[in-house]
Structure 1
Amino acid sequence: MKKGIKSFTLIEMLIVLAIIAVLILLFVPNLVKEKDKVKETGSRAIVKVVESQAELYRIDHTGEVKLSELLSNGLISQQQADNYNDYYAKNKNESRSIPN
């Protein structure tokens, strides 16, 4: 006497795949939004670092602080300067405290 092997039917497998596909469609847009929020938060953090370095530079020097001076003195990296400029290029309504 043969015993029947229990297994999933094709319809059950398709239902499971459909549920997984729907869940993926629901979660992927949210992940993209969160990625953008994280990137924006990182950009704001870099802006604060650059502005803090500018304040420290003002304490030791007289005159106006420029981004190029911070770069040449090694107080910030080129990547930080680029991120600072990109942030204010995207957020044109915010006032910029350090000129180029």
Structure 2
Amino acid sequence: MNEKGFTLLEMLLVLVVISVLLLLIIPSVVTQKQTVNAKGCSALMKSAEAQVQAYQLNNDNKLPTIADLVTGKYITTGTCPDGKVMQVKDDGTVEANDPSKPAS
């Protein structure tokens, strides 16, 4: 018999190889996602600081809150991709705090 196709052993071997590759790749993807979220928050805070300055130029140097920036459409959200909530400090810089932890 000269039938074309895969044997059961060949199929099992392919499944084992794919499983091992997935086991090696998945932890790396999870770690990379956390890194991207942290860097995304940093970039969003820098952008929000620039928008604080723009708000101050338009509103007689008044220091805005994050809610003022969102309602004025200077920024689209007051939270980072990792869930931290941004707030404007007295010096005009922006920081992000984890809402589940008390502020220090």
TM-score where L is the length of structure 1 = 0.65
Match of 2:15 in 1: 17
Match of 1:73 in 2: 72
Larger gyration radius, structure 1 or structure 2: 1
Alpha-carbon separation, structure 1, partners of 2:13 and 2:71: 62
Alpha-carbon separation, structure 1, partners of 2:67 and 2:3: 74
Give the aligned length: 87
Identity within the alignment, %: 31
- As a proportion of its length, which structure holds more strand? 2
Match of 1:98 in 2: none
TM-score where L is the length of structure 2 = 0.63
21-30 or 40-49, which moves further after superposition?
40-49
Ranges in structure 2 where 5+ consecutive residues have no aligned partner: 87-94
Alpha-carbon separation, structure 1, partners of 2:55 and 2:5: 71
Q: Which one of the candidate residues 56, 76, 79 is aligned to 1:82?
A: 79
**Relative contact order (alpha carbons < 8 A, sep ≥ 6): 1 or 2 greater?**
1
Distance of aligned partners of 1:54 and 1:19 in 2 relative to their CA distance in 1, 3 Å threshold: same
Alpha-carbon separation, structure 1, partners of 2:63 and 2:53: 11
Q: CA RMSD in A?
A: 2.6
